[in-house]
């Protein structure tokens, strides 16, 4: 259980919808940022019961990157909200795109089983005109430890 109290009794962290950003440290290169949030929770809007998911965030930043502590507090803000899986995934994407304006972003939500059904939701954003760079295949150079010269 997370303790949000200091010895003086003042809260040190609270959930918030505010997302902080910082400047992309290498704006001249496309690079992929992958994040996993393994303890995401929200409430089922029909039953009020908790829903649990792993949220995956994959993005290629443009000018800004999302700051991790604010992301954690943002994700925490859904804990007491009733949300359909499809709606919460798209809401997270919309909020992150609004704050960071990435070249590309994908949110994948993998919800735990409920009623015998696993639900996975994937939502994507692409900046107008952005195209991914060709991927370089380096598998031909992988070493084979069984062959020695």
Question: Among all residues, which ones are annotated catalytic?
Answer: 44, 51
Return the residue matching tokens 């062959």: 147
**Residue 28 in 3-state DSSP?**
coil
Contact 23, 61 (CB under 8 A): no
Secondary structure E strands in the chain: 21-23, 33-43, 50-60, 64-66, 104-114, 117-126
Euclidean distance between the first and final Cα of the chain, in Å?
56
């Amino acid at each position: 259980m997370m303790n949000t109290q200091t010895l003086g009794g003042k809260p040190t962290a609270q959930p918030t919808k505010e997302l902080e950003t910082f400047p992309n440290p290498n704006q001249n290169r496309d690079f992929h940022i992958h994040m996993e949030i393994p303890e995401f929770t929200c409430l089922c809007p029909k039953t009020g019961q908790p829903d649990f998911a792993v949220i995956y965030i994959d993005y290629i930043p443009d000018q800004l990157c999302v700051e991790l502590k604010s992301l954690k507090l943002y994700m925490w803000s859904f804990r007491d909200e009733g949300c359909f899986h499809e709606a919460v995934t798209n809401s997270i994407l919309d909020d992150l795109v609004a704050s960071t304006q990435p070249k590309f972003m994908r949110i994948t939500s993998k919800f735990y089983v409920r009623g015998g059904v696993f639900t996975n939701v994937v939502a994507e954003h692409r900046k107008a005109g952005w195209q991914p760079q060709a991927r370089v295949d380096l598998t031909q150079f992988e070493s084979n430890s069984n062959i020695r010269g």
